[in-house]
C-alpha cells in the first residue's frame, strides 16, 4: 500500500557513467518531487511534476540532470556523466496535488543513496 | 522568497525531560510550516504541519509546535523525551495555494537522548 517506493536503494557507479533512479509515487497522487540530500548542502529541491503541466526544473543543478514522468505515475531521474559531487541521497516525494486553499502533505520515499567513485 | 533557520544543529536531552527544537522562518507569502523527522537510514516522516488554522499544532508521538507570527517562529516541543525520539529533525516551509509546493528545508537538528 503503500507509500512512495524508490529503486535502487543503493547505487555505486564510476565517474563518467550515467545512472537512472526510479520513483513510484503513491497511487493517485498527481504531484511528484525530487530532492537531493547531501553533506554540506542539506536537502535541496530538484524538480517538480504536477499532472500534465510542464515540470518545474528550476532546482536541477546542471544539464547533466534530467527527469521524466511517464503516464503521470512513475518517474525516472537521470544523471549523465556522473561526477563525485553528485554523490548524495536522492529523495522522491508525492502528494495528492493542489486543492484550492489547502496545502498537501508530501510523502517521502526511503531514498536512493548514490556513490560516485 | 522563503527560508528556514534551525537555530541548533545538535540538541541533547535526558530521557524523560522536555524537548525544544527551535525554528525561525522567513516568507514573503502566507507560509505553510512542517516538521519532518528522519531516523537513521530511514525516509522522512511528517510529524506535523501548520496551514493557517490553529496556531498550536499537535503531531504524532507527542510532539507539538506553535506558530508565532510576531516572532516568525515555529518551535517543536515534547514534554518528555523518549529514547526512540533520537533522530534528525527538519523544519520546512512552503507557500500556501501556489502552483508549486516545493519545500524549503532547514539544515536540520540532530536530537540525542541521554539514557
The pLDDT-based confidence of B103 (bands split at 50, 70, 90) is confident
- Using CB atoms, which residue from B51, B99, B105 is nearest to A42? B105
Q: How far apart are CA B69 and CA B73, in angstroms?
A: 7
The pLDDT-based confidence of B96 (bands split at 50, 70, 90) is low
Q: How far apart are CA A8 and CA A3, in angstroms?
A: 16
Q: Which residues of B touch A46 (CB under 8 A)?
A: none
Task: Mark B45-84 as b/e (b = at least 16 C-beta within 10 Å).
Answer: bbbbbbbeeeeebebeeebbbebeeeeebbbbebeebeee
Q: How many A×B Cβ pairs under 8 Å?
A: 65
Set of cell numbers at residue B46: 511528517
So what's the pLDDT on residue B98? 53
pLDDT in tens, A3-30: 999 999 999 999 999 999 999 999 888 8
Q: How far apart are CA B46 and CA B35, in angstroms?
A: 6
CA B92 to chain A, closest CA, distance in angstroms equals 10
CB contact (8 A) between residue A106 and residue B45: no
Residues in CB range of A3: below 8 A, 6 or more apart? A26, A107, A109, B43
Question: What region, left, alpha or beta, does residue A57 occupy, with left being phi > 0 and alpha being psi -120 to 50 degrees?
Answer: alpha
Set of cell numbers at residue B77: 516541543
pLDDT in tens, B39-68: 987 789 999 998 877 889 999 999 999 999
| B40: Cα within 13 Å, side-chain hemisphere | 5
So what's the pLDDT on residue B53? 75
Residue B113 has pLDDT above 90, yes or no: yes
Nearest CA in chain B to A47: B102
Residue A80 has pLDDT above 70, yes or no: yes
Residues of B within an 8 Å Cβ radius of A: 32, 34, 36, 42-46, 49, 51, 90, 94, 96-108
CB contact (8 A) between residue B45 and residue A108: yes
CB A82 within 8 A of CB A110: no
Nearest CA in chain A to B9: A42
Over residues B79-84, mean pLDDT: 96
Strand partners, B19: B78
Over residues B61-77, mean pLDDT: 95
So what's the pLDDT on residue A8? 96
Amino acid at each position: 500500500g503503500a507509500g512512495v517506493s524508490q529503486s535502487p536503494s543503493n547505487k555505486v557507479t564510476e565517474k563518467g557513467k550515467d545512472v537512472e533512479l526510479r520513483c513510484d509515487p503513491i497511487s493517485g497522487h498527481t504531484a511528484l518531487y525530487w530532492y537531493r540530500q547531501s553533506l554540506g548542502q542539506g536537502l535541496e529541491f530538484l524538480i517538480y511534476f504536477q499532472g500534465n503541466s510542464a515540470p518545474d526544473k528550476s532546482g536541477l543543478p546542471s544539464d547533466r540532470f534530467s527527469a521524466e514522468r511517464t503516464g503521470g505515475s512513475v518517474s525516472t531521474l537521470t544523471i549523465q556523466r556522473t561526477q563525485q559531487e553528485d554523490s548524495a541521497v536522492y529523495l522522491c516525494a508525492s502528494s495528492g496535488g493542489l486543492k484550492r486553499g489547502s496545502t498537501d502533505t508530501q510523502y517521502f520515499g526511503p531514498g536512493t543513496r548514490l556513490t560516485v567513485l | 522568497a522563503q527560508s528556514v533557520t534551525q537555530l541548533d544543529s545538535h540538541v541533547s536531552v535526558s530521557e524523560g525531560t522536555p524537548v525544544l527544537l527551535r525554528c525561525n522562518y522567513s516568507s514573503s507569502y502566507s507560509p505553510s510550516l512542517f516538521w519532518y523527522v528522519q531516523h537513521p537510514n530511514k525516509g522522512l516522516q511528517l510529524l506535523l504541519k501548520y496551514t493557517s488554522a490553529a496556531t498550536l499544532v499537535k503531531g504524532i508521538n507527542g510532539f507539538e509546535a506553535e506558530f508565532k507570527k510576531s516572532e516568525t517562529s515555529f518551535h517543536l516541543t515534547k514534554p518528555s523525551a523518549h529514547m526512540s525520539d533520537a533522530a534528525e529533525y527538519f523544519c520546512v516551509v512552503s507557500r500556501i495555494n501556489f502552483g508549486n509546493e516545493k519545500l524549503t528545508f532547514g539544515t536540520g537538528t540532530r536530537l540525542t537522548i541521554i539514557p
